[in-house]
Amino acid sequence: MNPSLRCNAFRCLSLPADVELSDVYRRQNRLEIALEMGESDSKNGFRFLPSSPLSRESVLEAVHRLEKDSTRVSEELFWIHDLQGKLALHGTNSDAVLTALRSQSDSNTTKGAIAQHNAAVILTCLAIESKGGKCLDYWKDALKYWNTTNQNPIFWQFLEDRYPSLENDSAALTQLKHEAGIILAEAVGEEIWESIHGRDFRRVASITAAVSVHSHWLPVEDELSKVSRQVAADATGRAGAIIDRAEAIQKDGDKSAMRRTLAAAEQDFQTLTQEFDPIFECLGTADGVDWPNTKASVLRKLSIAYFNHVDDNDEALRLIVEATNLAKDPEIRSRLDGDWRHVQQSILRGEAVQLMESGSYTEAEQKLSAALPLATEAQKQEILDLRQTCRRARVFKGVDRSKINPTLYTLNGIGATFYGGRDYDTDTKSYVTTHWFTVIFLPIIPLASYRVSKTGPRSYSIYGQVPLSPFLKKYRWSVLAAIVLLIIWATIDSNTSSSSSSPPPNTSSGSEYSTAAKDAPPSSTPSSVGYGSGTSSPVERSNLSQESAAIEVERGELKQMKVRLDSQKQDLDAQNAALEKMQSYVKIIDSTYTADTIPKSVRDRYNSTIDDYNGRLPGFKKAVHEYSDAVEEYERRRTEFNARVQRYNASQ
């Protein structure tokens, strides 16, 4: 460190910087006598600063430096002026002295300028001689006051007045300012290097941050470049050690121990970034060292270790996203994108397997469909096979394979057969059909539903029974209830007819009625009593025949409407599945990235998926509305049809 700072001549002699040379000689004689007698002489000393160790040689060297203007001006620049006692500098507490100087430094006078300078000198001495956090605070304040002093023309005019060689010589004055900056830069540099050698990188960051603020007047570029290279080497070495720890983990080891090792390595990495990030923010990085990419590489290695050795996909994905946010190099970002795709498809595939095991096959298919675009060519076939297995499991979910032999036989249109179809699956070419009891080939009562596939005309491969749809269950109960009501009505009507057909006993006094009844020929038109006994007139038989034909026409139209509704339902289910798949993919991307971190390869598909979803959604909503209206119309007509059938049956 420069002698002007480390062993200032005025400090050595315990004199203020603005004393005359004659006072210097008198002080020299007094100190030499004291040294010869083994005594100390602290007269005129500044007791708020530690005294310098004295020897005859140090005293002579101090006087020699003050005898020449060329060296004395530097000694004055880095020591305290008292303006012939106008500044109170003889206290014992440095904080009290500094407080007094600060209160006077705002004055735009010579006294104020000298107070600024004295505060800068005292703070520099305290910074050099202190340790720990207090040292950093002293350096920050010292550089602030030196910066103010450099810009204060009153102080430099004060020096010009004391040294005629500086008067009207701007070059000499500029050179003096530059030399002062060099001396301070060397002193700060020593503090930084001391912290580096002590591996106290937090202190390095604090000092470099304080220095960087004053880089416009403090010539520290070369020194900071050396510091940057050294710090970069240390940071890279420690990052490499973390990578080596991650790569040294053996796959067949204890997973709990491996997880602890990786957690410790990540904690060390966080400590590393907390220590070095502030330094690199101030200094930049040395040539050949790219700190953001170095950090991204460390996180990538930790991610690979979590994925390969601990089977922790979530941790691996988290670290990949963090690394992607840091990486700048296109090659590293490309590798990280590949890692993300690999881990993401693994996560989706694992979730799909869990969903399959729980019986949620539709959700599992959606996961596998989302994983397929992320897989490599080697992985795609495995995912396709798994999706095919999932699809078959979904299709045959709820199929009772023990019931595969329903009776399919009719005689003169009466019996049981299959009608209708729903839930068609293109892969297995199977669908759900209903087993009906028929009368004159018309389906009357739904007996059960089966999943089947056609193998020929009226030939089926039956996989098993499935539950009836809610609509058919309600319909079956309605039909059975109607049959029971018809039976009850027919029984009551039959009893009433039998009672009406028996003539009452003849209790009247007139005999002409009974004679006429006996002799009259049979009438070709049944009487009113005859209608009650079940005989119909030709007109009524004609009306019943027309009503029966109208009912059959309505029945056919309802069947066609049902087929159309089933087709609409299948189409809506397909559209809904496609929309849910797109929505699931968008949610996965939103939960993984922020808007600014989505990789380009993912962003294109992400944006196109959103556009496709938004384009399909209005049409889907319209189709759902139309389907709802059609179902409502179908239910209305079916209700009216059932009522019409009941009226027809009641009129026979």
Q: How does pLDDT run across 374-408, given as a tens digit for each residue?
A: 888 888 888 888 888 888 888 888 888 888 888 88
Strands 442-456, 409-411: pairing kind: unpaired
pLDDT at 480 over 80: yes
Whether 274 is in a domain gets the answer no
DSSP assignment string, 87-128: S----S-HHHHHHHHHHHHTSSSHHHHHHHHHHHHHHHHHHH
Instruction: Report the C-alpha gap between 616 and 610 in whole angstroms.
Output: 10
Residue 521's pLDDT band, with cuts at 50, 70 and 90, is: very low
Whether 505 is in a domain gets the answer no
Instruction: Report the C-alpha gap between 502 and 529 in whole angstroms.
Output: 9
Q: What pTM was estimated for this model as a whole?
A: 0.54
Question: Within 13 A of 600's CA, how many CA atoms are on the CB side?
Answer: 3
**What token pair was written down for 486?**
């018809």
Instruction: Report the C-alpha gap between 37 and 540 in whole angstroms.
Output: 155
**What is the amino acid identity at position 517?**
A
Instruction: Report the C-alpha gap between 146 and 154 in whole angstroms.
Output: 14
Whether 485 is in a domain gets the answer no
> Is the distance from CB of 78 to CB of 183 less than 8 angstroms?
yes
Strand partners of residue 449: 434, 466
Whether 114 is in a domain gets the answer yes
Question: Within 13 A of 580's CA, how many CA atoms are on the CB side?
Answer: 13
Other C-beta atoms within 10 Å of 482: how many?
A: 14
- Determine the structural domain holding residue 640 and report its residue range: 538-651
Burial level of 429, CB count in 10 A (0-12/13-18/19+)?
exposed
Q: Where a domain ends, among 138, 169, 200?
A: 169
Instruction: Report the C-alpha gap between 466 and 451 in whole angstroms.
Output: 7
Q: Where a domain ends, among 141, 169, 197?
A: 169
Other C-beta atoms within 10 Å of 567: how many?
A: 13
Q: Where a domain ends, among 169, 203, 230?
A: 169
pLDDT at 598 over 80: no
pLDDT digits (tens, 9 = 90+) for 5-50: 878 999 888 899 989 999 999 999 988 888 888 776 555 567 888 7
∠ CA 359-364-365, nearest 5°, is: 125
Other C-beta atoms within 10 Å of 134: how many?
A: 11
Q: Output the CA torsion 441→445→451→455 (10° steps).
A: -10
**What is the amino acid identity at position 589?**
I
Whether 163 is in a domain gets the answer yes
Instruction: Report the C-alpha gap between 498 and 532 in whole angstroms.
Output: 8
**What token pair was written down for 100?**
């007094």
**What token pair was written down for 209?**
């941050």
Kindly state the average pLDDT of the residues 274-290. 77
**What token pair was written down for 536?**
């119909």
Instruction: Report the C-alpha gap between 360 and 347 in whole angstroms.
Output: 17
Q: Which residues of 58-76 are buried (b: 16+ CB within 10 A; e: fewer)?
A: bbeebbebbeeeeebbbbb
Any idea which residue has 């038109």 for tokens? 525
Residue 527's pLDDT band, with cuts at 50, 70 and 90, is: very low
pLDDT of residue 505: 44
Kindly state the average pLDDT of the residues 175-203. 87
Number of domains in the chain: 2
Whether 137 is in a domain gets the answer yes
pLDDT of residue 45: 66
> Is the distance from CB of 179 to CB of 74 less than 8 angstroms?
yes
Residue 429 parent element (H or E): none
Whether 239 is in a domain gets the answer no
168 in the Ramachandran plot: left (φ > 0), alpha (ψ -120 to 50) or beta? Answer: left
pLDDT of residue 335: 93
pLDDT digits (tens, 9 = 90+) for 347-361: 998 888 888 888 888
Percent of the chain residues past pLDDT 90, beyond the cut? 30
| 89 vs 443: which has the higher pLDDT | 443
Whether 269 is in a domain gets the answer no
Instruction: Report the C-alpha gap between 297 and 320 in whole angstroms.
Output: 10
| 412 vs 534: which has the higher pLDDT | 412
